Amino acid sequence: MGVRTHRGRPCNRADTRGEWPSVIQLHDRAAFAWGGTPAPPPALAHRQAAAAPAPDDSFCARAGAPDGPGAAVPTQNAEVCIRAIRVLASLGHPYRLTAIGLWRGHIGCASVPGDLTAGQGRLNSVAGRELKQLFRAFSESDELAFRRAAQAIIQDEESKEHLALARDLRKILGGQGGTAGQLALATPEPPSDRDGGWPLADIRTPSRSLDDLVVPHTLDDAFRHLVKEVGRWDELDAAGIPRRQRVLLYGPPGCGKTSAAEAVAAELMAPMAVVRLDSVVSSYLGETAANLRRIFEFASGGRWVLLFDEFDALGRSRDDPTEHGEIKRMVNAVLQMLDAYRGPSLLIAATNHESALDTAVWRRFDAVFEFPRPTVHQLRAVLRRRLAVMPHRGLDIDAAASRLKGLPHAAAEQAAWEAARHALLDDRRDVRQGDLTAGIEAVRRRPW
């Protein structure tokens, strides 16, 4: 059988070794191109390939021989390749796009079967709608609408399994690129204390992501589910399902509660506002409740991740006989405002002293997450991550992590910085075992 050509080239685009790619090879190429999704089990892939519809004879006839023009066509190999490409397309996005490219590349024909392109129009219309919203928000200088449209685009890319692209877009919008820095300038100023004019919150651009956290898998999964849920609040509202927008984090100090709140803000591409307790709590009668009201009104005016760090200062037990009436009125105000809040922001409270909280505080929160002290394995992961950005050699990180057993995540981070500082002051750029040992001993000597 002769070889047909397309635009003067052989239709066959198989590699020079005369081998048609298998479904596993095609899947792996797609995984590499679209963010590293692991290949399916070989048995499943071959079962899918066997169950795929057989290609018609015209497609097999158009497939040329691996050895170039004029060679005989290994029909069974062409069929396997076509089956593999179709199986790849059946896996959905992003593999459908890769399958189309491989069809044109390996089979060498410009016309693509309809089963490979099914669903493309719908996906393009989704992207087009979000892009229009993005440009409209930019032209109207509506920073919050811009962020919402950008978030919708990123979520759409994630639904297509374009994970690498979605991750890069999140980093850019979250503050690791010039555009995000410019957007941060457009965020409104936080409210101020009426007497001293002090800001009641600090605005921060989050720089951590959930991938940066070293926490138990159950906690990581819970935060990822929360981020997904916040992005679909409108669907929950339409279905009459209550949102989870008040979250309490508790656990020992230095175990990642504030970092987790920052990571959630980064994943949501929302600015983070940290309540300043030194400004909120006032010595004047009734002024603390007034400051809290300003904070909640601020959270209702835009989409924020609002963090109440050291929340026990605001939600302490009212049964304590040593507390005066103003403190109890403050706690009452906090409970009422938490109950009444229905704005667009996510409220996160963090405390190291959960036993000091008023018993009525707990039920005001829609989700409660405990942050335990890290295991030795997690401490090892923290050390490796922090030391990975520093030149080093010959470090016994396993032994160092064992020496930190029982200490929080912050102790492992501090030990890595102590080691780097020790090396720098010794006029060296590389961290050595002696530096790490000195850093470990330094953090073991201090309280945590």
Q: Do 215 and 354 fall within a single domain?
A: yes
Encode burial over 178-201: b for 16+ CB neighbours within 10 A, e otherwise: eebeebeeebeebbebeeeeeebb
Q: pTM (2 decimals)?
A: 0.61
Residues 156 and 173 occupy one common structural domain: yes
Percentage of the chain exceeding pLDDT 90: 44
pLDDT at 331: 92
pLDDT of residue 298: 94
Give the tens place of pLDDT for each residue, 39-60. Answer: 444 444 444 444 444 444 444 3
* Lowest mean pLDDT, pick from 110-119, 242-251, 349-358, 377-386: 110-119
* Structural contact between residues 279 and 291, judged by C-beta atoms closer than 8 angstroms: yes
Number of domains comprising the chain: 4
Are both 160 and 276 inside the same structural domain?
Answer: no
Tell me which residue has tokens 């403050």. Answer: 330
Domain with 126, as residue range(s), is 121-182
Is there a single domain that holds both residue 244 and residue 318? yes
Lowest mean pLDDT among 92-106, 283-297, 361-375: 92-106
Task: Check whether residue 405 and residue 362 sit in a common domain.
Answer: no
**Mutual angle of helices 287-300 and 325-340, in 10-degree steps:** 20
Q: Domain boundary at 92, 118, 144, which? A: 118
**Closest Cα partner for 80 from 15, 2, 3, 26?**
26
Residues 355 and 216 placed together within one structural domain of the fold: yes
Pairing relationship of beta strands 5-6 and 9-10 according to DSSP bridges: antiparallel
- Residue 413 is which amino acid? E
99 in Cβ contact with 89 (< 8 Å): yes
Q: Write out the DSSP string of 105-121.
A: III--S---HHHHTTHH
What's the CATH number where 435 sits?
1.10.8.60
Q: Token pair 């690791």 is at which residue?
A: 176
Do 236 and 178 share a structural domain? no
Residues 57 and 38 in one domain: yes
Does 138 lie in the same domain as 102? no
Residues 80 and 211 in one domain: no
Q: What is the CA radius of gyration of the chain?
A: 29
**pLDDT mean over 91-120:** 56
Grade residue 32 by pLDDT with cuts at 50, 70 and 90: very low
- pLDDT value of position 253: 95
Residues 297 and 168 in one domain: no
Domain containing residue 336: CATH number: 3.40.50.300
Nearest to 103 by CA among 20, 7, 1: 20
Q: Which long-range contacts (CB under 8 A, 24 or more apart) does 326-330 make?
A: 326/285, 326/288, 329/286, 329/288, 329/289, 330/281, 330/288, 330/289, 330/292
Q: Residue 431's beta-bridge partner residues?
A: 392
* Mean pLDDT over each residue of the chain, to the nearest integer: 76
- Say if residue 308's pLDDT is above 90: yes
Indicate if 234 and 288 belong to the same structural domain: yes
CA distance 145 to 286: 36
The residue out of 370, 389, 416 marking a domain boundary is 370
- Name the domain boundary from 96, 118, 140: 118
Stated length of the chain? 448
